[in-house]
Amino acid sequence: MAPTSAAEASSAMEVSRNWLEVPDEVMSNILQRLGTKEILYSAWKVCTTWRRICKDPTMWKVIDIQKTYYTDIIYGDYTMLTKLAVDLSCGELIDLRIKGFGTDKLLDHILRCSLKLKRLSIMYSNDITGSGLGRAVKGRARHLEELELFHISNITSQDIEVIGRNCPQLRSLGIMVSGWSFPTVYNLEMFLRDVLAFAIAKNMPELRHLKLSDGKMTNDGLIAILNGCPRLQYLDVCDCDNLRLDGSLLFYGFKWRFVINSSIKLNRVFLWCRHDVVEQSKGYQNWRKLHLTSISINVKYIEGIGRNCPKLKSFETTNMMISGPFIDYNSL
């Protein structure tokens, strides 16, 4: 038999390297890439070393658990899974995202055990209510900076008031109340306009980023937000069929720093604007980004944007209907 060379011996040693000898911080980085469900159902059952690493609270600063039809068959009880992950964080949890499941009781457990929480996203969780969220944040969410509530049940103005009072660091808010969720308890506010907008304006003056889908919001509600949130830098309104952005409202918005130095995204609203107001207003000059989606717009408005937006770097359109005379580009 031919003698084994030193290079071949070294290669053989590398192939047979023991993964248990990998430093904990490196293995922790690798395991975190698996995701919450995969870690708790698979990775930490491999060996005692991996289980010890998975119990380190620093592994659980970010928790993202999303329920789908296919994963429901595999992972089963998502409430138990979330509670386990939160308990393993030992109060170090900073960022939590849950989708497709959850109850008020689970939310209370999360907020009680996560006083350092900065970002909370709840999506398509019809068993989580606005009142349940309000109770959960009382005295526990002073560090919360970002909150997303997409299609949860029964968000009222009282809930917004409680959230605003108990989350003084809140800078980003996303609320989508139309379309998917169905209320478990009917209340008078379901039939009133602008109640959420008025509550946001009154109780969340430090907001920088607001995404709001509220089919009952009108111009009055939007004006209230412009007044009540003077530091707002990004506004995304969608599915607001009662909103009419006519010339006077646009001028009002520019006067009160509707867009400061970042962007405005108008999504699924009716945008009716007199071109003379566009030409006279100076509020366009700081726009950096403009995204118009699913709206009807007059061609004079687009001309006004071109003349009055010297700093505009990005102009995106989707499903726009343009009315008015065509532009004669040869005359420009």
Instruction: Quote the pLDDT of residue 171.
Output: 96
**274-297: average pLDDT:** 54
Q: What is the pLDDT of residues 230-256, one digit of tens each?
A: 888 788 877 777 766 554 454 444 333
pLDDT at 271: 42
Are the C-beta atoms of residues 211 and 174 closer than 8 Å to each other? yes
Using the predicted structure, report yes or no on whether residue 184 has a pLDDT greater than 50.
no
pLDDT over 90 (residue 263):
no
pTM of the model: 0.74
Q: In the CATH scheme, what is the homologous superfamily, with its name and number, of domain 60-238?
A: Ribonuclease Inhibitor (3.80.10.10)
CA 28 to chain centre: 27
- Helical H segments across the chain, by residue range: 6-15, 24-32, 36-41, 48-54, 69-75, 78-89, 104-113, 130-137, 157-166, 195-203, 219-228, 247-255, 275-280, 299-308
Q: At what angle do helices 219-228 and 195-203 cross, to 10 degrees?
A: 10
Helix (H, G, I), strand (E, B) or coil at 297: strand
Mean pLDDT value across the chain: 76
Enumerate the domain spans of the chain.
21-55, 60-238, 244-332
pLDDT of residue 192: 72
> Residue 235: CB partners within 8 Å, gap ≥ 6?
210, 211, 212, 225, 258, 259, 264, 265
